Amino acid sequence: MKILILCTGNSCRSQMAQGFLQSLDKNIQVFSAGTHPAEKVNPLAVEAMAEVGIDISRHIPTNVTAYLSDTWDYVITVCGSANETCPAFVGNVGKRLHIGFEDPSEAIGTTDFIKSEFERVRNEIKNEFTKFYMTEVKKQELPKSACNR
């Protein structure tokens, strides 16, 4: 199974979603990209993920154009802007989904508040992508029973 997670900057939400989804199943191929990628992954996203044992420190924001001709089982947008401006894929896309989250990099306030926003969004991403994995990915891996053959 091959999954692309798409957002605008590819520096926070899509990177965290990629990290969580890949941690759930090493056998699926998970990539992330941005419509207007940042220069690097947001350090607070890296820190938030490290707190739950997932290392995304080596991830690099990638432009979605690198993946437009590939075949995908799922293309999932995680921000409204990417959902609205999602480019046309030349390759085959099985399903296109939107699972949106607020952008923690837009949080304004104290350092502690901003960090808590990254943690809150990280937890929301974990919950939603675990649910996606259990309802979409795992059901496709179940063998057909003898009655369904």
Known catalytic residues?
7, 79, 86
In the structure encoding, which two tokens stand for residue 46, read together? 């890296």
| CA 136 to centroid of chain Cα atoms | 15
Residue type, 92: N
In sequence order, which residues have a C-beta less than 8 Å from that of residue 6 and are 6 or more positions away?
14, 32, 33, 34, 35, 64, 75, 76, 77, 78, 82, 86
